[in-house]
Amino acid sequence: MTTNPSAELLDNLLTATGQTTAVREEVRVWSMSGVERVTFPDRTTAIFKYAKKPFDSEDQALRLAHTLGVPVPKVHASAVLDGWLGMLMDDLGPSVREADDLDGVAAAVVLHSTRTASALPVLDQERLSTLPARALEHLERLRKADRWQDTDDVEDALDRITQAADARSAGATLGPFGWVHSEFHPTSLHIGKHGWRLLDFARAFTGPGLLDLASWHGTIEPPHPVRLRVFLDQYVTAGGTPDALVPRGGLAAENWALGWHRMWAVEWFMEQSIRWINDASTDPAYIKAVRRHLNDVLHLLEI
């Protein structure tokens, strides 16, 4: 694993912003990223966030979003070192409450109505339909590394989804199509004294906004199409495009959204497992999550 160069990154950022020193306080730290509050000698504070590939272009996405009018934390300085990104951002302070569903739809309406940015990767119908085939490629590489051996059921499910993918991915570019946050959860929406800000743009792309709406309630509990339908109705009422309610791929919008969001998650988990994390000790947890999501995909996409 690459040594975390956060201290050197912070030094570079302090130099770039004319600061000499800062006291670091961990807020949240994971194996691939971390968030800290830094306090400068004059008692002012900022958020220091660092992350390794593939999360190393969040500064670009945040600056784009800010330029286009999306409420996000302002990036004061950023630097890249040995495949790690470091950023100094506005410290938004404590949240006044947790984000609820109405906050979520309000933020989604703003984000999804924002002009698309050519710098973002694109997930259109063609790209969406290749997700199961890409997951099969990850599985092949895992098996070549003598991992994921007893997963014929995973392979069978991915084969079935691959065969149905062209038909089921139809309608991917129906509205809302544009900015997708991709980590759209209540924890990514900061409600502060001066309004809301969207956080965590490390994996933003251009694609079907329904994937954001499908991700809001998380993936720990079983998917709940009726709850998502209510959320979609709230989204349209709040000013989101009425196309959000239109059936696609021969499915109700909510089933299409939940099914493809789970498929998107499966491909990401499997890529993480072989490429970004690449730690065999994590395989049981990843295999369990992939199996659960694939069962959901088969059910939701009616395959």
pLDDT digits (tens, 9 = 90+) for 182-204: 999 999 999 998 899 999 999 99
Q: Give domain 6-89's CATH architecture.
A: 2-Layer Sandwich (3.30)
pLDDT of 100 over the 50 cut: yes
Is residue 270 helix, strand or coil?
Answer: helix
Instruction: Report the alpha-carbon distance of residue 155 to residue 170 in Å, rounded.
Output: 23
Rounded to the nearest integer, the mean pLDDT of the chain is 95
Mean pLDDT value of segment 41-63: 94
62, amino acid identity: L
pLDDT of 1 over the 50 cut: no
Instruction: Report the alpha-carbon distance of residue 111 to residue 245 in Å, rounded.
Output: 18
Q: Torsion angle, CA of 231/233/234/235, rounded to 10 degrees?
A: 90
Q: Any idea which residue has 């994996």 for tokens?
A: 203
pLDDT of residue 30: 85
> For the chain, where do the domains classified as CATH 3.30.200.20 start and end?
6-89
Query: Does domain 101-300 bear CATH number 3.90.1200.10?
Result: yes
Residue 192: C-alpha distances to residues 44, 71, 99 (Å): 18, 12, 10
> For the chain, where do the domains classified as CATH 3.90.1200.10 start and end?
101-300
pLDDT digits (tens, 9 = 90+) for 119-165: 899 999 999 999 999 999 999 999 999 999 999 999 999 999 999 99
Look up residue 275 and give its DSSP letter.
I
**Region for residue 18 given its phi and psi (left: phi exceeds 0; alpha: psi -120 to 50; beta: otherwise):** left
% of the chain with per-residue pLDDT over 70: 99
Residue 299 token pair: 């059910």
pTM above 0.85, yes or no: yes
Per the CB < 8 A criterion, the answer to whether 262 and 224 are in contact is no
Instruction: Report the alpha-carbon distance of residue 102 to residue 236 in Å, rounded.
Output: 11
